[in-house]
Structure 1
Amino acid sequence: MRAIGIILAGGSSSRMQELSKRRAVCAMPVAGFYRSIDFALSNMTNSHIQTVAVFTQYNAGSLNTHLSSSKWWDFGRKQGGLYVFTPAVKASGNLWYRGTADAIAQNLEFLRSCHEPYVIITSGDCVYKMDYAKLLEYHIQKQSDITVVCKDMPASIDTERFGTIRMNEESRIEEFEEKPVVSRSNTISCGIYVIRRRQLIELIERAEAEERYDFVRDILVRYKDMKRIYGYKIKEYWNNIASVEDYYRTNMDFLKPEVRNYFFRDYPGIYTKVVDLPPAKYNVGVNVKNSLISSGCIINGTVEDSLIFKGAFIGNNCYIKNSIILNDVYIGDNSHIENCIVESHGTIQANSYYKEDNGIKVVVENNERYVL
């Protein structure tokens, strides 16, 4: 494919509460087995993009470990590959990425060294499947300077936390507002863009010279009347993980057969780093209903409408409902957990009770697992 990929994976989100204190949002576990960045990486390789750069920064330890081998997404090749960039000490100074445009600016040498004429830019915290080849074909057909992937959201979704856009009949973007106080459109930007590589370098250099650091505000919004910026609407599944509620809802969607089939069975697939674990073990007397149980789990008690991630242990007489139990969690006997997200590697002592009647409760317990 005539494009390189850039995945912006350096940001943090205070709306993720305790979940983002240990890891980058792009490293959040999804659907029992994946990380959120796996969806963008899989879309890249499925679209035959051979060169992909990931810009990491905030709490990047687990994310960098996850990306330590590129073979899982088929980027281990002689030409191209998977490149991970973090802020570095340079002769000009030592600065963290001050925004999405600044992250690209600090790695412009990578862009200059590539030969592909186009760049696909995407965030790493969205769950979706997309053929970027069709997106690039649309971009070329429209003779667009920048193409923005967008989606019409239902009225129940608060669009004021997204970038909202309005287009004319030809799909040219006439209005772009980043997180408006009052939203006047239900069409949002999905954070996926196509732009010619040389033009991106030119715009980033100009933004850097003017000390402008955000790709949306300082490029898309600023140049919407001067550049040909078009929208590319998608109707397929797309969700952004930017808050506890988003994360909970996205994972719960995988309990729906149509969503599971779309991601797990329909071609092309979603790939991730493989961890060798035994199959889940269901002990005598368990009761599991409409739940997703991952490898390495040992299940006792009752589990309903929940996702149990890798290596979790559910004790005797436990009751788990409408909850997400992350990796390597130990839940002691006779515990009740409902409408909760239990942080990974936590130990819930026996006879614990966690239930949230309004919203979702994030449970973080670091109790010693084995005591005398």
Structure 2
Amino acid sequence: MRPPRTLCLILAGGQGSRLGALTEHRVKPALRVAGSYRLIDTALSTVVNSGLDDVWIAEQYLPHSLNDHLANGGPWDLDRVNGGLRILAPFEGGPGEGMAQGNSDTLWRHRERLAEFDAECIVVLSADHLYTLDLLTVLQTHVASDAELTLVTTRTDEDPSSYGVVQVDDDGRVASYDYKPEDPAGNLVAAEVLCFDATLLVDALEELAEREGGLGDYGDDLVPWFVDRGRTVEHRLEGYWMDMGTPETYWRAHMHLVDGEGARFDDPQHPIRSAQPQLPPARVVDGAVVVDSLLAAGCQVAGEVRRSVIGPGVVVEAGAVVEESVLLDDVRVAPGVRLRRCVVDDGVQLTEPRVHGDGVGVTVLGPDDAAGSAVS
């Protein structure tokens, strides 16, 4: 099958306020993942590994925190004259409109550019998740079903009330869609990858904006509009999928990586590409203890590290203990410091001998909060 002319739009403007200190100084898609990557790398690599090369990224919150990493698309071979990567900068729109109030509003503000591109399909991806997916199979489902919208769905072990809950008929057509319901009807949820009929998407945005007086999140307005028309289908994602929207899920996804049960960053068929930090190899000195852990370039370990992910430039000194924790860039852990189930933000210097983390919840340590805060 010849794939339809497709534009991929990655939504990378969300603040990610549920992550607390981790997104006070960066947009969520710029958050470090697996030691050496950024969260947006999954979405970008998914597009490129699927053979698609028209990629737009819509930004809003703290765009500078992401743009250096994107490097004009070079790490994903998207720095080209025709096609490739295009950044949609944030803008306020007309008088009184302000900034976009949700992902549907973001799409609406770029509707003229979307229409001018003249795609057959528009694939919208969130930059907040870890998964492996071939978008060509999604396009095949979309075309074969003569769908107006194809939702990628997955079963979740997390609380379904945080997502769009989907019910489908035996033929795969979406019978109902309930966005963040108080009483979920099941655990089949939308995985934040959507394939739209391009022309109808623009029509829907204009109709909804005129009718509602403004748009918010597509779970509230855009997806229900399509589902009500009866030509929305699912494409089931059977493998690993994790929303990285809270400290708890961010930490848990890293523990899955440590256990070898999480997202794969080394799959030769679906490699995760990134702008890797230019640093020397990790160094583990004599007397250090490292067990079941991931070490990024430039880190130095002289203490004890167990079931943890250690980011670039991190220093764990002799006499320090790091257990079941995630340390981002350039963290220093001094002698006498013990970390248990912690996520430590860039540049935090833990110099006072003490215990951080109760071993029950997840403790986030940010640059402005050395004591951290427990998140259950």
Structure 1 counterpart SS, 2:57? strand
TM-aligned CA deviation for residue 113 of structure 1: 2.4
Identical counterparts, % of pairs: 26
Retained in 1: the 8 A contact 2:277–2:312?
A: no
Separation in 2 of the partners of 1:272 and 1:158?
A: 30
CA distance in 2, matches of 1:367, 1:142: 52
Opposite residue 60 of structure 2, the aligned amino acid is Q
Which residue number in structure 2 is paired with residue 309 of structure 1? 311
Alignment of 1:1-372 (within 5 A): 1=3, 2-90=5-93, 95-154=98-157, 157-210=158-211, 211-213=213-215, 214-259=217-262, 262-365=264-367
Counterpart-to-counterpart distance in 2, 1:149 and 1:89: 31
- Return the offset for 1:60: 2.4
On the 8 A contact 1:150/1:190 being kept in 2, the answer is yes
More displaced 10-residue stretch of structure 1: 175-184 or 85-94: 85-94
Give me the whole-angstrom Cα distance separating, in 1, the residues matched to 2:94 and 2:28.
30
CA positional deviation for 1:227: 3.8
Residues 280 and 293 in structure 1, CA contact (< 8 A), matched pair in contact too = yes
Shift of residue 258 of structure 1? Answer: 4.8
User: Contact 1:117–1:196 at 8 Å: present in 2 too?
Assistant: yes
Give 1:112 deviation, angstroms.
Answer: 2.1
Q: 1:222 Cα deviation (Å)?
A: 3.2
Give 1:184 shift. 1.1
1:347–1:366 Cα contact (<8 Å) kept:
no
Q: Bigger CA drift: 12-21 or 98-107?
A: 12-21
Give, in whole Å, the separation in 2 of the partners of 1:257 and 1:357: 21
TM-score normalised by structure 2 residue count: 0.93
The answer on whether the counterparts of 2:164 and 2:190 sit within 8 Å (CA) in structure 1 is yes
Shift >3 Å, 4+ stretches = 89-94, 365-368
Deviation of 1:17 after TM superposition, in Å, equals: 1.7
Per the TM alignment, residue 367 of structure 1 is displaced from its structure 2 partner at its CA by 9.6
Contact 1:348/1:365 (8 A) holds in 2: no
Q: Counterparts of 2:262 and 2:190 in 1: how far apart (Å)?
A: 22
- Asked whether the equivalents of residues 204 and 225 of structure 2 are also in contact (C-alpha less than 8 Å), the reply is no
**Aligned partner letter, 1:319:** V
**Once the 2 structures are TM-superposed, how far is the Cα of residue 32 of structure 1 from its aligned partner?**
0.6
1:93 Cα shift? 5.6
Partner letter of residue 178 of structure 1?
A: Y
Matching residue of 2:373: none
**3-state SS of the aligned residue for 1:224?**
helix
Corresponding letter in the other structure for 2:285: N
Point out where structure 1 has 5 or more consecutive residues left out of the alignment. none
Please give the TM-score of this superposition, normalised by the length of structure 1. Answer: 0.93
Q: Which runs of no fewer than 5 residues in structure 2 stay unpaired? A: 371-376
Q: How much does 1:92 deviate?
A: 5.0
Residue in 1 that maps onto 2:374: none
8 Å CA contact 2:253–2:262 kept in 1: the answer is no
CA distance in 1 between partners of 2:150 and 2:92 (Å): 33
For 2:113 and 2:144, how far apart are their aligned partners in 1?
27
CA deviation vs aligned residue, 1:229-288 (integer Å, no higher than 9, x gap): 11111111111111111100111111123546x321332201011221000011110010
Q: Which amino acid aligns with 2:197?
A: R
Shift of 1:200: 1.0
* Cα deviation digits, residues 291-350 of structure 1 (max 9, x gap): 001000011111001000111011111111011111111111221111111111111114
